[in-house]
Every structure is written in C-alpha cells, then in structure tokens.
C-alpha cells in the first residue's frame, strides 16, 4: 500500500495529465473551429466579391448612364460596349431631367468599357454657339448643326425666350459637331420631330433605328415646339433660380387663344382648350387664363411624370325623349339626358320665352330622368317652353323652344 502522500501525488499527476489532455483537445477543437470559420469567411468574401462584380455586369445594360465609384464624370454606355462622355452638365440635362438614372459601378468595372467619344446635345432640345462665332445653331441628329438665319425663325421654333435656350460650346468640344444646311424656313426643321426621332443617345448615334415622328398639322407642330421649348426653359430657370414674368405668354397666345388683355382670340385653332399642367407633382387641367399664372409660378406644361390626366368634361348632356301629357289645368313634362344632370323648365304663353314673360321650375338633383308638373294652366291655351340640363362639370344643354296645348 502506498504512502498517503505518494498516493496524493500520484493522483494529482494523473489528474494533471488528464486535464492537460482535455485542455489540448478543447484547444484543438477551438483552433479547428476558428480555422473552419476563417475559411468560410474568406470563401464568403471571395464569393460575395465575385457576386457583386457579376451583379454589376448583369445590371449595367446598354443605354445606362454610369459613373465610377468616387468619380464624378458621367458616361453613357452604348450598344457597342463603349462609354461615351458627357462633356458637361448642360449636355447631360439636354437628355435627362435629373440624376436619378445614373448607376454607380466599381471603378475596375468602369475601365472594362473603352471610351467611344463624347455625347452631343439632344437634337431639337437647345440652341448652341461658340464664342468666336455669332451664329446660333439648332442641333440635329448625331451632332449636325443648322444655322438659324434670323430671329423670326428662332422665335417660331423655340419661342419668344429662344435666346435663353442658347448654350456656348467650348471650342475644344465644337469639333464633336458638323455644320449642316442652314434653316431659312420654319417648315424645313421641327425641334419636336427631331427630339422624337432620337429618344435616346443610342438612337442619336445610330445604334438604334430612328423613330418615326408623329404626323401633326402645322398648328399642332408649332404649338408642340413652343410647349417643348417652354418646358426646357422652365427646367433651366429652376436650376438657375431665375423667374421670368412673361414666361409662357407666347404659348398661351398662339396655341390656346388668350391675348394679353385676357380676351378670347376666336381665330386661334386651339382656343377654349383646357391646358394640362404639372403643379407641385399634381396634374391639373385648367383654362388658358389660369395656365398663364401657373406657368409664371414655376409649373410646367404637360402631365406630371408622364401620367395621363383625366380629360376635362367639356361636353354638355344630350336632351332626348321629351314627353308632354296635358290634362285639365295640369301638364306633366318629362325628358331624359345621357348623363346625370339637373333639370329646369321655363314656360309661358308668349314666344320667345324670356325671363320676363315666363315661369320656371327647377331642381339641383342630378338625374338622367327629369319630370316636372306644371299646374294652374289656362285651359285650351298654347304654352311655349324651354328645357335645360346641367351636368356635374357645369356643361349646360338647352332645348329648342317647344310648345304644347293645354287641355280644353
């Protein structure tokens, strides 16, 4: 039998040996777990990095405006796999209203796309000149410049404020353009059609086929040009924090029939039309007189964000199925309308019916069936009457003057 002291020492030795082994096992497990996690994390970083790059490659499609991470220069990625530089913000804003379309890509991703050249102004959008040449040019497709021969042509195509739509092109970038035939007649150039035929930079550079512009009458073409020029001007002035007291007057006068004295120009082809405006993100339909005030306070022509506004109701109800049933001193008159409307009947024994020689019955209730009972009539007498119905949009329909004979 061992001595107690030796037994204790022996037991401690065994305990320490087992404890060390246990600690070694635990340490090895921890180390294995650590290296396993590290391997997973490292593989995850590589995987995510690969995925991000692949995702960036997949999402950057032709027709996208891109910029490198941390860089400010903007490029247009075209169908030929090349990036085209926007020389300045003026050129960019001739194509886009804001920077919401810009996509940021990894710098190394950006360098995968070789440079293809510079982006030129959108055709029909603005006018350009260089400081060393007094001539003002309209921009046509793929950077072709067309000289406007006189101010009257400029006003017809770009409005009374045409001189505020001119950009100076630096001499270094003027070589991106080529001078084409001059514009000596407003019928030989349409800013609206120029813009419509090349809706994107890809169309402008020939990577996509030109779009056929909508066929318009001469009046529609002129008004479309003025409206587009006004909207471009509104956006430019908003960026520059400038207001013009007479902005939009030329459009209202020439296209919506309202003169400066607020009298109606009945010769204007679009007189009495309602004007669609974008007011603080809300699409409104207003009269020409109200439109002038809206435009002066920064609203723009056209619907907001391309939404199609509900057209204003300018059509009066249609009156039909008129019926009269006369018995004794009472007559029941009824008619129908093709939409809900109020009803009113004016009647009397003298023609023509006027307020001075007639009575009337009316209701403000909107309905498609209208019936009125006329009482206290003289027997055997000829009565003249007029019918009137007004819909919810205050469009009024009035019948011709009619008559009936009361019962004997």
Q: What tens digit of pLDDT does each residue of 132-154 get? A: 889 999 999 999 999 999 999 99
Top-ranked range on mean pLDDT: pick from 246-255, 295-304, 327-336: 327-336
Residue 296 pLDDT exceeds 50: yes
Q: What six digits make up the tokens of 337?
A: 């309308």
pLDDT value at residue 280: 83
d(CA 283, CA 281): 7
- Provide the mean pLDDT of the chain: 82
Contact indicator for 294, 276 with CB cutoff of 8 Å: no
Per DSSP, 339 falls in state E
70's CB contacts (< 8 A; 6+ apart) are 107
d(CA 270, CA 250): 13
d(CA 380, CA 253): 56
Q: Averaged over 179-184, what is the pLDDT?
A: 95
Residue 376 pLDDT exceeds 70: yes
> In Å, what is the CA distance from 350 to each residue of 106, 344, 360?
87, 18, 14
pLDDT per residue over 11-20, tens digit each?
334 344 444 4
Helix (H) or strand (E) holding 234: helix 218-240
pLDDT value at residue 152: 95
| Predicted TM-score of the model (pTM) | 0.60
152's CB contacts (< 8 A; 6+ apart) are none
Q: Averaged over 55-62, what is the pLDDT?
A: 66
Please state at what angle helix 151-158 crosses helix 218-240, rounded to 10 degrees.
90
pLDDT value at residue 392: 85
According to DSSP, the residues that pair with 325 across neighbouring strands are 332
pLDDT per residue over 106-136, tens digit each?
999 999 999 999 999 999 999 999 988 899 9
State the residue for tokens 């498609």: 368
d(CA 90, CA 95): 9
Q: Strand, helix or coil at 112?
A: coil
Per DSSP, 355 falls in state G
d(CA 107, CA 67): 8
pLDDT value at residue 123: 97
Per DSSP, 102 falls in state E
Burial of 198 (C-beta count, 10 Å sphere; 0-12/13-18/19+): buried
Task: Read off φ and ψ for residue 389, nearest 5 degrees.
Answer: -135, 140
CA atoms within 13 A on the CB side of 395: 14
- pLDDT tier for residue 311 given thresholds of 50, 70 and 90: low
Burial of 120 (C-beta count, 10 Å sphere; 0-12/13-18/19+): buried
Task: Read off φ and ψ for residue 18, nearest 5 degrees.
Answer: -65, -35
d(CA 200, CA 125): 12
State the residue for tokens 């100076």: 168
């Amino acid at each position: 039998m061992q001595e107690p002291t030796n037994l204790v020492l022996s037991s401690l030795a065994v305990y320490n040996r087992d404890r060390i082994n246990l600690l070694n096992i635990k340490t090895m497990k921890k180390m294995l777990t650590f290296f396993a996690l590290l391997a997973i994390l490292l593989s995850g970083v590589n995987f995510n990095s690969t995925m991000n790059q692949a995702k960036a490659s997949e999402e950057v499609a032709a027709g996208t405006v891109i910029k490198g991470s941390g860089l400010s220069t903007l490029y247009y990625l075209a169908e030929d796999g090349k990036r085209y530089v926007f020389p300045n913000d003026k050129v960019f804003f001739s194509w886009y209203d804001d920077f919401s379309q810009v996509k940021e890509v990894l710098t190394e991703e950006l360098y995968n796309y070789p440079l293809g050249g510079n982006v030129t102004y959108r055709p029909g959008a603005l006018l350009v000149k260089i400081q060393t040449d007094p001539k003002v040019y309209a921009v046509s497709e793929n950077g072709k410049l067309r000289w406007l021969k006189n101010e009257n042509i400029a006003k017809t195509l770009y409005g009374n404020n045409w001189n505020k739509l001119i950009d100076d092109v630096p001499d270094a970038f003027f070589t991106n353009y080529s001078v084409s035939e001059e514009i000596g007649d407003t019928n030989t150039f349409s800013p609206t059609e120029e813009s419509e035929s090349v809706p994107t930079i890809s169309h402008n550079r020939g990577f996509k086929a030109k779009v056929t512009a909508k066929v318009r009458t001469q009046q529609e073409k002129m008004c479309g040009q003025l409206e587009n020029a006004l909207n471009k001007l509104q956006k430019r002035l908003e960026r520059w924090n400038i207001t013009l007291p007479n902005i939009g007057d030329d459009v209202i006068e020439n296209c919506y029939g309202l003169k400066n004295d607020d009298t109606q120009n009945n010769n204007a082809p679009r007189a009495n039309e309602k004007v669609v405006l974008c007011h603080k993100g809300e699409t409104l339909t207003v009269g020409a007189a109200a439109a002038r005030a809206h435009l002066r306070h920064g609203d723009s022509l056209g619907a907001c964000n391309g939404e199609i506004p509900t057209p204003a109701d300018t059509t009066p109800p249609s009156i039909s199925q008129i019926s009269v049933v006369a018995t004794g001193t009472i007559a029941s008159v009824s008619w129908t309308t093709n939409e809900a409307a109020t009803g009113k009947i004016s009647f009397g024994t003298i023609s023509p019916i006027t307020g001075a020689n007639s009575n009337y019955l009316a209701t403000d209730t909107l309905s498609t069936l209208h019936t009125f009972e006329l009482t206290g009539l003289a027997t055997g007498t000829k009565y003249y009457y007029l019918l009137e119905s007004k819909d919810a949009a205050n469009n009024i329909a009035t019948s011709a003057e009619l008559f009936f004979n009361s019962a004997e």
